[in-house]
Structure 1
Amino acid sequence: MGSIEGIIILSASHQPILHSNFLHPLPNYPLLHADQLSSRLESSASTKDEAPISWTEGVPRAGDVVSEDDEASERESRGDDDASLADGVAYEASEGDGDSASCHVEHNGLRLVATFSKHVDPMLPLSFLSSLVANLQSYLGSPLTEDAVRDNFDTVYQVMEEMLDESGQPLTTEFNALRDIVREPSWVSKVASKMGSAGMPGMGSTLAPPPLVSPIPWRRPTSASRYTTNELYIDIEETLCGTFARSPVSSTQPIEARPLAPLKLRGIIKGKAKLNGTPDLLLRLNNPSMLREARLHPCIRIKRWKKEGVLSFVPPDGEFDLVETNIEASVGALDKKLPLRLHCERRQEEKQQTTFKITLMATVAEAVDNIEVIFGVTDASASIETTTSGVSSEDKAGAGTFHYDPKRGVARWSVARFSRGQRPLSLTGTVTSDTNPCLSTAVTSRFAVPLSSIAGLKVTGLDITADSAYRPYKGVRNTVKGDIDWRW
């Protein structure tokens, strides 16, 4: 079975920030992968165009690299008295060049890369990188930023080393197990790490107490997790995903765009537990059969889920994702349930100028929150001027805010809240550059409708079946979200 050779973290400018210890003996092996991935990202019109899995050309396999001792022994057996290698490693050319690959995920401008040179199921490194991002956010805050990684280099490096063992296999991926091995950063630890333990008397013994091992990996030791109040929260999030075709334009008014393929409804059941002891929970859903291809947290008893359709588990401490799934809802065409619709137009007025107009239209009675409309601009020298219409002059906040990041080539229009009773809200802009400005082929919209559900998935029961010396506060809520691309 293959293994993960190591992890590299790239900045928003696609430059290496740090990397873990690598199994490969070639010293510059991580940089070979980083340089080629950086070149591909720079040449892509959009970072989304780069596949998450790619081959790396001209990178030797570990078996093609021999150490100085092995080379010296081989020369001695041949009677060759040439001087030893200066670099300590040598590369033997073979036809196997290029038999190396990498997986990468993007988060808030950062790009995390995992490399491998043997036959590996790509889901292994991709799942590992997702766990790494989640754990680093738990340590350094969400969303993970480049400054946070640079300021907490020691913590990031320790987390990577504890999550991946010496053979390249995932080891400790649960945050509640990691936090007892790698201390969370604080101002005291930062000062101590810069001054050294000798600079602060008695600090060496307080910064790294012996870890406590819990028999349940996703829960902290009982002596380490004591809460003043016992609370349990469950969130059911339904996310509409899909792509709409370009909006037809009639002589009188725009015609609603149609999806290129049926929309998908993805669901995630999240939890947040602050419960003392070792509680055993039982969660019942009104219609568990609508959950398809469910990805379950390791805490769930799979046999009981398959047999009875209930979620029986000992919950992790803190926040966790209990179930990720596709939802098969019998509610007709999902595009008719879309809470927010966009009408997008763009036109090239001159060689160096492009105009665009994006219009928001709410289709549900509930207010739509946290709206983000995102599109890309390939020319870094471009400038964008925008105006909004559809709101009164007194309600400037209702028009939202527009921000263009030329370094990343991303334009973002953010609207805090929009409801059906409002007039359609429009953003009109002009993109000007020294060359022909090119916009991305689609506009991405993201939004949330709190206390709402499309599929009608609900929690019908949430009980503690063991360690019931207390009655915790329990809260459940539903949210509809959207991640839709609109062609223009």
Structure 2
Amino acid sequence: MVSGVYFCDASGKPILSRRYRDDIPLSAIDKFSQILLEHEEESSVVPPCLLYQGIHYLFIQHSDIYVVALTTSYQTNIAQIFMFLHQLVSVLGDYLKSVEEESIRDNFVIIYELLDEMMDYGIPQITETKMLKQYITQKSFKLIKAAKKKRNAARPPVALTNSVSWRQEGIKYKKNEAYLDIIESINMLMNQQGQVLRSEIIGEVKVKSRLSGMPDLKLGINDKGIFSKYLENEEDFSKPVQIINDDSTTNGKKSNIELEDLKFHQCVRLSKFENEKIITFIPPDGEFELMNYRLTTPIKPLIWCDINIQVHSKSRIEIHCRAKAQIKKKSIANNVEILIPVPDDADTPTFKYSHGSIKWLPEKNAILWKLRSFAGGKEYSMTAQLGLPSVDGIEPPKVKRPVQIKFQIPYFTTSGIQVRYLKINEPKLQYKSFPWVRYITQSGDDYTIR
């Protein structure tokens, strides 16, 4: 249980607080800035969980503020508290647009209302923005005016008294559809010789639900370690999915993969998953992230660049770049961007290229090569010449910054993950539903070549 939630400024001094229990002294948060300062002096890295005089200080940092939760119990679920703090910042972002010290001070009324509804006696309650916005608005004085009239008295939504707090009742659609987007982001570090030094796949399963009533969904994927032994019995009676131009790496064969670091949306029945390894859930209305995962299996570069830099007489630099799409021939990488760094004092560029477009970005000291579409197996090249200051005695320039690559490959997954079935059941309405699945592979935040 959480004894209190506090918002502190960059130095650790409290701005706003909400106490849920009386098992900690009022002055406990005043020690937070002192504890931070002591740990910063001892080490450059401050752990997110600090213990001082029997009180645990759990905190996250966002913009120029700290969001701190205090507790005295050793039986507290630490992961749950950190998830609540991150969700609290996300909800405040939906209400305040920008979560920072100034916005916290200017909107303390709405923040108190949210803290009262999101947590009760130190236990998280409602954390979905869609449900909170039904009865907490930015102009809270309207709720007070409405309460004076008995007919218009503000009442909590039905979903608050329901076991399904993330979805309201009475939702109706003329056409019932469910869309699944499996998006995999590739993070990779390569050296100049093409050797992969580090690689990982960060996956997300996003759902857009346009279903009436209170549907119950069952999802099956080809995970080797978790789901595969349960799929044979499920596939016979489950709802097939419609694939949007599928070109996944499995070529129609049922291969199994092993997912790591699974994280689910709160709508997933964890007890059902832990006992039977089946993903079942009642989805929120609209778009949400059902689950995410990580894979650390070795993979080859999907888009590879060979960069060669030559310096001529210290007055001119020549850059040769050869890019190759190492994907299947029927796959196409869209919106490929190759950012090539150049020396800080380079100028007067001239380009020769076989495909796409090239821009000179002096503010970034780089060349941006854009390829709108890059078919698998194709290879393109470009040459850039830039002038350098012609001064004797100056060492040849060295470019140490890495080459950054961005791309997006639709209808393709690197890991080979596949949705084998998506069963949609609404016991009361018994309508026909249309599930759709789309696969996308894209570059992550760190897809670079040294």
Question: Which residue number corresponds to residue 232 of structure 1?
Answer: 178
TM alignment of 1:79-478, pairs within 5 A: 100-106=56-62, 109=63, 112-116=66-70, 118=72, 119=74, 120-139=76-95, 153-167=108-122, 169-183=123-137, 185=138, 189=139, 209-214=154-159, 215-223=162-170, 225-227=171-173, 229-241=175-187, 243=189, 247=191, 254-259=192-197, 261=198, 263-287=199-223, 288-289=227-228, 290=257, 291-302=259-270, 305=273, 310-327=278-295, 333-334=298-299, 336-339=300-303, 361=323, 363-364=325-326, 366-369=332-335, 399=359, 420=374, 423=381, 448-467=408-427, 468-478=429-439
Question: Which residue number corresponds to residue 53 of structure 1?
Answer: 48
Counterpart amino acid of 1:478? Y
Gaps of 5+ in 1: 62-95, 248-253, 346-356, 376-383, 405-410, 431-438
CA distance in 1, matches of 2:8, 2:322: 37
CA distance in 2, matches of 1:273, 1:476: 12
Shift of 1:273: 1.3
CA distance in 1, matches of 2:116, 2:291: 27
More strand by share: 2
CA distance in 2, matches of 1:101, 1:446: 40
Secondary structure of 1:128's partner? helix
Root-mean-square deviation (CA), in Å? 5.4
CA distance in 2, matches of 1:440, 1:25: 53
Count of paired positions? 379
Could you say if the C-alpha distance between residues 466 and 28 of structure 1 is closer, same or farther in structure 2, counting changes exceeding 3 Å? closer
Gaps of 5+ in 2: 229-256, 310-318, 389-398
Shift of 1:269: 1.3
Secondary structure of 1:461's partner? strand
CA distance in 2, matches of 1:238, 1:170: 31
Question: Which residue number corresponds to residue 483 of structure 1?
Answer: 445
2:17 aligned residue (15, 20, 29): 20
Shift of 1:234: 1.0
Shift of 1:36: 3.8
C-alpha offsets along residues 157-213 of structure 1, whole Å, 9 cap, x if unaligned?
43233223343x322223344333423x4xxx3xx75xx889xx8697699721113
- Using CA pairs under 8 Å that are at least 6 residues apart, name the structure with larger relative contact order, 1 or 2: 2
Question: Which residue number corresponds to residue 79 of structure 1?
Answer: none
User: Do 1:403 and 1:413's aligned partners in 2 also have CA atoms closer than 8 Å?
Assistant: no
User: Do 1:131 and 1:173's aligned partners in 2 also have CA atoms closer than 8 Å?
Assistant: yes
Could you say if the C-alpha distance between residues 242 and 227 of structure 1 is closer, same or farther in structure 2, counting changes exceeding 3 Å? same
Shift of 1:218: 4.0
CA distance in 1, matches of 2:125, 2:28: 25
CA distance in 2, matches of 1:426, 1:129: 49
Q: What TM-score do you get using the length of structure 2 for normalisation? A: 0.62
CA distance in 1, matches of 2:83, 2:385: 38
User: Do 1:55 and 1:101's aligned partners in 2 also have CA atoms closer than 8 Å?
Assistant: yes
Question: Which residue number corresponds to residue 81 of structure 1?
Answer: none
C-alpha offsets along residues 327-380 of structure 1, whole Å, 9 cap, x if unaligned?
476xxx31x1444669799xxxxxxxxxxx9989564453354869899xxxxx
Q: Percent identity?
A: 21
Secondary structure of 2:125's partner? coil
